Structure 1
Amino acid sequence: MIFGKTGFGGAVADFEAAVVAQDAKRSGKAFVRLQETFGQAKEADLLDGGPRLAGVLEQVPPGPRAVVAVLVGACVERGADAGRCAPGVLAGLREALEQAVAFADAWAATGGGAFPAADGDAPGDDIVERVGADAAAGWWTLHQWETAAVAMLNHPVVRVDAAGVRGELLRLLTSVERASGAEFKCLAYALLVLDDEPLVALHRASGTGYLLRFSGVGDNFQLHTLLADALIGGGHVEGHAPSSQEAAVCRETPGQVDTVGSFDLTAPDGARLWNEGAPADIPVVDGVRLLVLDKPSYRRQWPAGRFFPGMRGDVLLERALEPEETERWFAHVSPAKDATG
């Protein structure tokens, strides 16, 4: 597609050409136009512009690179191809995380103290002198990279394609969080999302077991509601079944609907698995995630919905386990522990 000279499409074309030519003055002007024209961009320009901007991210200087990555993410949210955009964004995220780790190391080596809040347009000269420009940019832009990366990771094709790097990204992120005391929960949970993941759920009160498979579930609140819909709503076990609306907003319907808990989620060793956690917290036993469903120990309410509003999630019941299978799985299970223990 050939863009005209105006609007977002024209700004993308000018920015792309200027970055490739390493024309700083021209790219600076086009960078401003990208931000000014995005809100009125036509669908065709967004679909084409996202991958083109992602394709030159590596050549953009560290500061504006994060802003361009956010624009790429916004293009994806409005229909641009996430699979084509994601490699550039995730590569930029990795570099920012590596630089943020370098920031933490340099900060500790030069006296430590509370990390500066990255809430300005750019780090001050004193920060840059203390840790270096690249490290400062890594820390300063990390929330922007989080926004851009989550927009990519909303899509299963990206999560599958990035399977080989997600663990390393999470390792780097964990290092930054520990050193800084800051939380990047959206990015951490997005990197932990599982797809086509088998799950054995054992219902302690009835002594029955079930093989399920889940994808795109952002947190255990969402998992909890979808498990209750599959097992209680499906007539397999007794308990509180969520309404169709409560289940729908946990799959792909926009919005939230108040719900109440149907289970205590318990690990095989008897420890509580909190709704605030992620499905990746469920322990793996003999190659499969194993979860025990106990009677709710108290009434708990929350707004049912999706942790990632742009991510479709689901839990599917494949089959009830035979009694012999169920008995073998229960052999791995300990009594539930007190929630405070």
Structure 2
Amino acid sequence: MIFGRRGRERFLDALTGFEAAVREQDTDGAERAFQQVYRGFRKATDEETGQAGPRLAALLPQVPPGPDGMIAVMTGACVEKGADASRCAPYVLDGLAEALTAAGEFCARWAASGGGDLPDPESDAPDDAVLARVGPRAAAAWWTLPQWEMASVAMLNHASVRTGAGAERRTRLLESLRIVQEATGHDFKCLWYALLVLDEEPLVALHRPTGTGYALRMSGIGDTFQLHTLLADVLVGGGHLPGRAPSPQEAAVCRTAPGQVPTTGSFNLVAPDGTWLWNEGTPCDIPVVDGVRLLVLDPPPYERGWPAGRFFPHMTGDLVLERVLGEEETRRLLAGCSPARRVNGTAPSG
């Protein structure tokens, strides 16, 4: 017990020393103190990391580009151990926005100075030739972007952060990320999907074979695989539709339970214009019609299986049924929907 207390004291003492060195712009002192913080983190309790997360996050605006990525990652690790994500997220998302802007500049300068294969951001630090081509700030942003992705996803796992960030800010982050992805061909899929997650989002599902409709509300669903399983759980498992219902375990891992279990699809998900909506996408792919996302459920054209679970294992997901639509309302909505289109020569049944 004494060793544990001393270990935690060293961790907090090191963090205090790191904060002082950063404020004093003591580069060497900050590096030494951070190494002590890093070593102490592994033995720190959840209570200690709960205190450390907001303190580390608050340092991010003062830490130079490059090292700031590691501080962001450690902040994310503190949040995963229970630190208050709402207190940490504003600093991390501000840093992400700056890193994305500078990474976009990196791509533009790289192309303007001769192009060629982009450096691997997972490799060693940029050499003098790279720094001469793009500048130190842009290079630091490119090399730390994977770290900012990790830290930001840790924040965005929390509904309070997603709703607190606001749709406008997330749209700006997505646009900056799109520019980087299109310029590089690199897929920051986890960050992209995390920024797209919807909360308390209305969804209307129309089951074409039975002519029935359902008003639902979805939150924290990372991809359409997860949504598909939850739709089957709520509508088939709830006794509203015929077909195969997921097992309780299949549904649970799509909400809060850990792990993955095999499942089989119950529907073909179709947009109102007849376009298939693939499970590999996200609920944001579902078009908005008259202010509400509108989805058509057709019979599956063939059997499709996948591991039921959550794209973001630390993100709680849910789908709830709010009401069954009346016959007239459902008939009107279905009348505006096109039949499912053929895909690769395959036409869905029903």
Same fold per TM (> 0.5)? Answer: yes
Structure 1 residue 124: deviation in Å?
1.5
CA deviation digits over 1:85-109, x for unaligned, max 9?
0000000000100000000110110
CA deviation digits over 1:105-131, x for unaligned, max 9?
101101112211112241111111110
Please state whether the residue corresponding to 1:51 is helix, strand or coil: helix
The corresponding residue for 1:311 is 315
The corresponding residue for 2:339 is 335
CA deviation digits over 1:134-189, x for unaligned, max 9?
00111111111000000000000000110131110000001000000100000000
Structure 1 residue 34: deviation in Å?
2.0
In 2, Cα distance between the equivalents of 1:202 and 1:340? 24
The corresponding residue for 1:21 is 24
- Name the aligned partner's letter for residue 305 of structure 2: Q
Please state whether the residue corresponding to 2:306 is helix, strand or coil: strand
CA RMSD of aligned residues (A): 1.3
The corresponding residue for 2:298 is 294
Please state whether the residue corresponding to 2:243 is helix, strand or coil: coil
Do the aligned partners of 1:82 and 1:152 also contact (CA within 8 Å) in 2?
yes
User: Are 1:243 and 2:252 counterparts?
Assistant: no
- Name the aligned partner's letter for residue 271 of structure 2: A
Matches within 5 A, 1:35-46: 35-46=38-49
Do the aligned partners of 2:7 and 2:43 also contact (CA within 8 Å) in 1?
no
The corresponding residue for 1:234 is 238
Matches within 5 A, 1:115-134: 115-134=118-137
The corresponding residue for 1:261 is 265
The corresponding residue for 2:284 is 280
Aligned partner of 2:327 among 314, 318, 323: 323
Do the aligned partners of 2:205 and 2:213 also contact (CA within 8 Å) in 1?
yes
The gaps in structure 2 that reach 5 residues or longer are 1-5, 346-350
The corresponding residue for 2:36 is 33
User: Are 1:203 and 2:204 counterparts?
Assistant: no
The corresponding residue for 1:218 is 222
The corresponding residue for 1:141 is 144
In 2, Cα distance between the equivalents of 1:288 and 1:242? 26
Do the aligned partners of 2:8 and 2:40 also contact (CA within 8 Å) in 1?
no
The corresponding residue for 2:72 is 69
Which segment is superposed worse, 22-31 or 252-261? 22-31
Matches within 5 A, 1:167-186: 167-186=171-190
The corresponding residue for 1:53 is 56
Do the aligned partners of 1:47 and 1:79 also contact (CA within 8 Å) in 2?
yes
The gaps in structure 1 that reach 5 residues or longer are none
- Name the aligned partner's letter for residue 137 of structure 1: A
Do the aligned partners of 1:7 and 1:41 also contact (CA within 8 Å) in 2?
no
Structure 1 residue 4: deviation in Å?
8.8
Do the aligned partners of 1:114 and 1:180 also contact (CA within 8 Å) in 2?
no
- Name the aligned partner's letter for residue 22 of structure 2: V
Do the aligned partners of 2:8 and 2:43 also contact (CA within 8 Å) in 1?
no
Structure 1 residue 17: deviation in Å?
1.4
Q: TM-score, normalised by structure 2?
A: 0.95
User: Are 1:158 and 2:161 counterparts?
Assistant: yes
Percent identity over paired residues: 60
- Name the aligned partner's letter for residue 91 of structure 1: D
Do the aligned partners of 2:22 and 2:30 also contact (CA within 8 Å) in 1?
yes
Q: TM-score, normalised by structure 1?
A: 0.97
- Name the aligned partner's letter for residue 342 of structure 2: D
Please state whether the residue corresponding to 2:177 is helix, strand or coil: helix
- Name the aligned partner's letter for residue 294 of structure 2: L
Which segment is superposed worse, 111-120 or 63-72? 111-120
